[in-house]
A and B are shown apart, each in its own frame.
Chain A
Amino acid sequence: MSAATLISGLLAVEVPYWASAIIKLGVVALVVPTAALVLGYVFLLKMMSFMQSRLGPMEAGPYGTLQLLADGLKFIQKEDIFPEKADRAVFALAPLVVLVSTFLIYVVIPTGPDAVVAQLDVGIFYALAVSSLSVVGILMAGWASANKYALMGGLRAAGQLIAYELPLVLAVMGVVIQAGTLDLQKIVAAQANGEIFGWGGIGNPFILTQFVGFFIFLVAVQAETTQPPFDMPVAESEIVGGYQVEYTGFRFLFFFMGEFGTAFAFAALAAVLFLGGWALPWGDLTHWGFNIAGPAIMLVKVLAVSALIFWFRFTYPRLREDQLQRLAWKFLIPLSLVNIVVTGIFKVVL
């Protein structure tokens, strides 16, 4: 079974390879902006407003639901400004690199037994690898802007993303050891079919055994997506937006979409790795109906994880760059190593 058969099944015709590739591309190209819009609206506009005793947007559409579309239109209308001394080609390319890295993560996230763009044997490895591509784009933006604030932001982002790549990967290792596979589909299956001390009532969502890993994963995701308390690369009150400072119009929009799209993708990864993904522990996992129910189940879990991520974002102040590095190297990495060792011991003993 694969995505190609799902598409063939849905359309009731044999779909050639090129057509299915185009459809997949279209799905990813639709999902990323939609995800960014949903997160941006639900959390950035509404949840944040309610936490700050205000209403947020109320005029554009019912309860302001269309506000971000209006903002997007506005961004597209804006003049595309290049700073005089900017490296034009690199400057123009940087937001695209960031956005592409976001798009690439979505390729492997499963939302049903067949509803996945590409089922890779090394799915989680691939996802973490392409997610770190965004740092290249951010460095490009920081350097090409010919702005001191942008340069500082870019360098901070590079240091931060490299430091937090490690706890992110190590946190996932625990899950991989427990499931015995890097394939995201099989990780989902392992959780749905798992048992807790011989009782399989709710399967075995890995958050129960890998809660340390889940915690480290969330912290690292917060740093990867440069959200407070780890938003030094953009730090509005210090370096006034960091690497984004010279960007206007749709290029700025790309950064915005990249930020929220990545947050959504990481929340989806967390849902797959720790919360059981698209599956429910009851019922036949190969049942065709999961292709319809799976995305909905996923969305609920993703929103739950994103709520956590954004809750931190709105409440915490910002750390300093050296404090951030200390947290990564002296606390998170040792902790995740201990987590791996303990998981390994349990795996061997049980």
Chain B
Amino acid sequence: MTAVGADQRQQMAYVATQAADARLNVEVETEGMTLNIGPQHPATHGTLRLVARLDGEQVVEAEPIMGYMHRGYEKLAEVRTYPQVTTLINRIDWLGSFANEVPFILAAEKLMEVEAPPRAQWIRTALFELSRIANITLFLGDMAVQLGALTPVFMAFRDREFVLNQIEAVTGGRFHPNFDRIGGLKDDLPQGWINDTKQAMEKIRDFCDEFEELVLGNEIFEARSRGIGIVPPEVGLSYGLSGANIRASGVDWDLRRDGHEALAYDQVDWKVWTHPDGDSFARYWVRLQETREATHIVDQLLDGLPSGPIMAKVPRIIKVPAGEAYAATENPLGEMGYYIVSKGDLVPFRVKIRSASFSNISITPWLLKGVYVPDIITILASLYFILGDIDR
């Protein structure tokens, strides 16, 4: 891996911006063109709209416009009881649904001062990682298809199925499990599930090896993604980037390790992957390594699974005592947190959702200055947002 120095990176980004400005102001007297990318566009994973001001094929400025898929989950949560809210928030990041439920449940557990029994915590963590794999395998195929390679995305869909089957076997739902409960989980694992899951993890590891060769090893993929969309660490932090996006800029920060939530990550041996470059290639690379790491985490969790109950003692009708709590976890897309304000009712008084994609996408105006039109797609794909996670 050749790493570009931080100074050099900044300089390159600066020069590109200056060049775009200079060309528009001085040299070229042409009118330029405003291009509406989206809300219906194959590269926007849904309904993101991007208004790009172009000079030829070069972007002078670009502004993301969101809200086309706003469903008002924060408000809707105020008229639903706590167990009902998980059904709703499943639909935020729809590719890694189970991971959405966990931080909400953790925040509610904080307020109620209950703690899930160890077995529930371990299974919760394992399912959390499974939904991360289900989510990111799709990214690995999808970014390749955004760059024009058709085949990888089919392989990603094929191999994601192994993970979805395992999630379905436990929770009964492929996409929207609604399985997490305050104080534990809805059910225990079915028989034979541990062995099946380990086999599935084996297949995912093969998938990662295959993609490392097929996509990361491809010269054209490298030419298209290296040095494109460089995020310097301090800029990334100031825009609130999280997850693999910030780790690809060399910031060693992962809530699974650095957070304080009651999950079983400190019980297993694993590694946080970072990459010094901060470009689109680095973001892909980090996500690929994280997928492989996640399979190891699942394997270890299933090996050391403690026995015992899966549900703590909680009242039948859940009334959360008055107070405020925030819990955040490292979701597939980045930091996801819920701030719950309770007045001691059946329903939360206010729920604030901190979703990763909303912050991750906010860097695009800075990042898209001076790039070419095809690079817009590369950068958007590598930032990896999900529209449900932006608009909520």
Contacts and interface: CB of A to CB of B under 8 A. Distances in A.
A239 B373 contact: yes
A149 to B, nearest CB: 8
Interface stretch (A48-56, A171-179, A286-294, A335-343): A48-56
A322 B223 contact: no
Contacts of B147: 237, 317-318
B268 interface: no
A71 interface: no
A148 B35 contact: yes
Interface in A305-320: 314-320
Of residues B57, B154, B155, B374, which shows the largest number of chain A Cβ atoms within 10 Å of its Cβ? Answer: B374
B284 to A, nearest CB: 12
B307 to A, nearest CB: 39
Contact of B375 (A228, A236, A237, A320): A320
A324 to B, nearest CB: 10
Interface in B140-198: 144-151, 154-155, 158
A318 B151 contact: no
A231 B148 contact: yes
Contacts, number: 76
B42 A320 contact: no
A240 B37 CA distance: 10
A321 B223 CA distance: 12
Given A152-B57, A238-B373, A238-B377, A316 B218 contact: yes
A281 interface: no
Nearest to B220: A317
A271 interface: no
A237 B218 contact: no
A172 to B, nearest CB: 26
B154 A52 contact: yes
Contacts of B155: 52-53
B85 interface: no
A44 to B, nearest CB: 11
A317 B224 CA distance: 9
A229 interface: yes
Contacts of A321: 57, 372, 374
B212 to A, nearest CB: 15
A235 B374 contact: yes
Given A236-B42, A237-B377, A322-B372, A148 B33 contact: yes
Contact of B154 (A54, A152, A229, A318): A54
B43 interface: yes
Of residues B57, B144, B158, which shows the largest number of chain A Cβ atoms within 10 Å of its Cβ? Answer: B57
B41 interface: yes
B253 interface: no
Nearest to B145: A237
A147 to B, nearest CB: 11
Interface string A51-94: 11110000000000000000000000000000000000000000
Contacts of B223: 319-320, 323
Interface residues of A, number: 28
A228 B43 contact: no
Given A53-B154, A232-B374, A238-B43, A318 B148 contact: yes
A315 B149 contact: yes
A210 to B, nearest CB: 25
B364 to A, nearest CB: 16
Interface string B218-256: 101101100000000000000000000000000000000
Of residues A228, A229, A240, which shows the largest number of chain B Cβ atoms within 10 Å of its Cβ? Answer: A229
Contact of A237 (B33, B43, B220, B372): B43
Contacts of B146: 237
Given A52-B154, A238-B43, A321-B57, A316 B149 contact: yes
A322 B227 CA distance: 15
A28 B221 CA distance: 40
B151 A315 contact: yes
Contact of A238 (B144, B151, B218, B374): B374
B148 to A, nearest CB: 3
Contacts of B33: 148
B374 A52 contact: no
A314 B149 CA distance: 7
Interface in B327-381: 372-377
Contacts of B224: 317-320, 323
Interface in A177-234: 228-229, 231-232
B57 A317 contact: no
B227 to A, nearest CB: 12
Interface string B111-147: 0000000000000000000000000000000001111
A319 B223 CA distance: 8
B366 to A, nearest CB: 21
Nearest to B147: A317
Contacts of B373: 152, 238-239
A235 B57 CA distance: 14
Contact of A314 (B144, B150, B377): B150
Interface of B: 33, 35, 41-43, 57, 144-151, 154-155, 158, 218, 220-221, 223-224, 372-377
5 contacts: A52-B154, A239-B373, A314-B150, A317-B144, A321-B372
Given A53-B158, A238-B373, A315-B151, 19 more contacts: A51-B151, A52-B154, A53-B154, A152-B57, A228-B149, A228-B150, A229-B148, A232-B374, A235-B148, A236-B42, A237-B43, A314-B150, A317-B144, A317-B149, A318-B147, A318-B220, A318-B224, A320-B372, A322-B372
Top-8 shortest CB links A-B: A318-B148, A52-B154, A317-B149, A317-B147, A317-B148, A237-B146, A320-B374, A317-B220
